[in-house]
């Protein structure tokens, strides 16, 4: 019996120490200590022994059980620690490695153009303002002189949000609600641009349901259309990095400006491509619409809580994606938002090429 127990202990401890995984270890535990296990069987024999025999064997069998339980626990610890070490080693990232061969990120043309615009307008004394993309219909429409029955609401292909709200909620269809928010939150004089995402239910080669606009707003005393035209001309010259930008202001209609003007820039066909610059009336030329603009309607100034006899101003809005397409030569808008790495690599900008006026904004 003595040698049997010693032998059993040796065998069990040896196989426990040799177990290479938690499953194998569990199988050994069941073999020894499970309901049908060898040690469990030995413990059961204690009941049938004479008191003397039990006194001699009891401590031995219990000692065996303790030794095996201890060996199992120690091996389990060691295996778990080894598994964790292996996992940590496998997931290790060497942050000091050069990123050779790994595709580096690039700045999306939309971000690049927004940075360029912020740089150009900062130089003209404009601050950058923002507003929420989930907007209420009062800011998006009503305060901009687009009452509920106005056909412009249908023209905007608005996404309305489901559910009960104090005011109907929409995904903003343009950046113009930032005009209202800015006038309500700040005292004039005001000079801001507001770049951001806007949403319309529309999709083809030149429209995506989400796109980007930039709004401009100036509120001061004695502001005229002349200030508007000068500002847009200065902006477009800096943006396209050419002095021969020619603008054409066409009478138009927006509910929130009066008078309203659509702004075209002249281009010439060069090697089958439109190149911005020169008069659109020149031979081989044409006009391209780039902006909506006008003098801020007095009802809009009033809705924002200002006195329109005291304060006047101009506003303009344009598509950032469209400006990017014109400047950097893409002809399809949809890949802008496909996340295709090949497109991003081709059209993206280095993160280190921060646009500056002195370096040329399109650095
Ligand atoms: N919000 C107009 C649009 O989305 C653009 C615009 C802005 C026109 C400001 C005039 C003044 O079409």
Q: What is the pLDDT of residues 222-277, one digit of tens each?
A: 999 999 999 999 999 999 999 999 999 999 999 999 999 999 999 998 888 888 99
For residue 179, which atom of ligand 1 is closest to its CA?
A: 9
Cα–Cα separations (whole angstroms), residue 111 to 123, 167, 241: 18, 32, 18
Q: How many whole angstroms from 318 Cα to the centroid of ligand 1? A: 7
Q: What is the pLDDT of residue 295?
A: 98
Residue-averaged pLDDT of the chain? 91
Euclidean distance between CA atoms 163 and 317, whole angstroms:
30
Contact 266, 278 (CB under 8 A): yes
Q: Atom 7 in ligand 1: which residue has the minimum CA distance?
A: 317
Q: How many whole angstroms from 247 Cα to the centroid of ligand 1? A: 17
166 among annotated binding-site residues: no
- Kindly tell me if the per-residue pLDDT of 334 is higher than 70: yes
Q: Atom 9 in ligand 1: which residue has the minimum CA distance?
A: 316
- Kindly tell me if the per-residue pLDDT of 354 is higher than 90: no
Domain segments of the chain: what residues? 2-90, 109-338
Q: What is the pLDDT of residue 155?
A: 67
Q: What is the pLDDT of residue 133?
A: 97
Question: Hey, what are 66's tokens?
Answer: 């303790």
Contact 218, 314 (CB under 8 A): yes
Q: Is the previous residue joined to 259 through a cis bond, with omega within 30 degrees of 0?
A: yes
Contact 290, 236 (CB under 8 A): yes
Q: How many whole angstroms from 316 Cα to the centroid of ligand 1? A: 6
Question: Hey, what are 12's tokens?
Answer: 């069990």
- Kindly tell me if the per-residue pLDDT of 285 is higher than 80: yes
Q: What is the pLDDT of residue 10?
A: 93
Pairing mode, if any, of strands 190-199 and 285-296? unpaired
pLDDT band at residue 363, thresholds of 50, 70 and 90?
low
For the question of whether the overall pTM of this predicted structure is more than 0.85, the answer is no
Select 109-338's CATH number: 3.30.930.10, 1.10.1740.10, 3.50.50.60, 3.40.710.10: 3.30.930.10
Instruction: Specify the long-range contacts of residues 205-208, CB closer than 8 Å, at least 24 apart.
Output: 205/331, 205/332, 205/333, 205/334, 206/322, 206/332, 206/333, 207/333, 208/321, 208/333, 208/334, 208/336, 208/337
Q: What is the pLDDT of residues 87-110, one digit of tens each?
A: 999 998 888 877 776 667 889 999
Q: Atom 12 in ligand 1: which residue has the minimum CA distance?
A: 292
- Kindly tell me if the per-residue pLDDT of 1 is higher than 60: no
285's enclosing H/E stretch is strand 285-296
Higher pLDDT, 284 or 301: 301
């Amino acid at each position: 019996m003595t040698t049997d127990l010693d032998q059993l202990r040796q065998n069990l401890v040896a196989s426990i120490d040799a177990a290479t995984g938690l499953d194998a270890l569990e199988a050994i535990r069941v073999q020894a200590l499970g309901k049908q296990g060898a040690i469990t069987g030995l413990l059961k024999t204690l009941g049938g022994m004479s008191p003397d025999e039990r006194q001699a064997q009891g401590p031995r069998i219990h000692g065996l059980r303790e030794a095996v339980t201890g060996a199992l626990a120690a091996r389990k610890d060691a295996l778990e620690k080894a598994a964790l070490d292996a996992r940590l080693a496998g997931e290790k990232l060497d942050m000091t490695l050069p990123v050779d061969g790994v595709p580096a990120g690039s700045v999306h043309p939309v971000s690049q153009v927004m940075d360029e615009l912020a740089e150009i307008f900062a130089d003209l004394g404009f601050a950058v303002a923002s507003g929420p993309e989930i907007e209420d219909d009062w800011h998006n429409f009503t305060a901009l002189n687009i009452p509920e029955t106005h056909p412009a609401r249908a023209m905007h292909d608005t996404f309305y949000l489901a559910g009960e709200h104090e005011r109907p909620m929409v995904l903003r269809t343009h950046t113009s609600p930032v005009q209202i928010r800015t006038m309500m939150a700040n005292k004039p004089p005001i000079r801001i641009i507001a770049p951001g995402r806007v949403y319309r239910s529309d999709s083809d080669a030149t429209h995506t349901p989400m796109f980007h606009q930039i709004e401009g707003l100036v509120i001061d005393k004695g502001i005229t259309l002349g200030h508007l035209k000068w500002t847009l001309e200065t902006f477009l010259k800096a943006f396209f990095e050419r002095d021969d930008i020619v603008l054409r202001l066409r009478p138009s209609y927006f509910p929130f400006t009066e008078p309203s003007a659509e702004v075209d820039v002249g281009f010439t066909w060069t090697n089958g491509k439109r190149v911005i610059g020169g008069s659109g009336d020149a031979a081989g030329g044409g006009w391209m619409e780039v902006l909506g603009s006008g003098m801020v309607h007095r009802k809009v100034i009033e809705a924002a809580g200002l006195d329109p006899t005291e304060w006047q101003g101009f506003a303009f809005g344009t598509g950032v994606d469209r400006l990017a397409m014109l400047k950097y030569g893409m002809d399809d808008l949809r890949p802008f938002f496909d996340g295709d790495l090949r497109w991003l690599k081709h059209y993206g900008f280095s993160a280190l090429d921060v646009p500056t006026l002195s370096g040329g904004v399109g650095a």
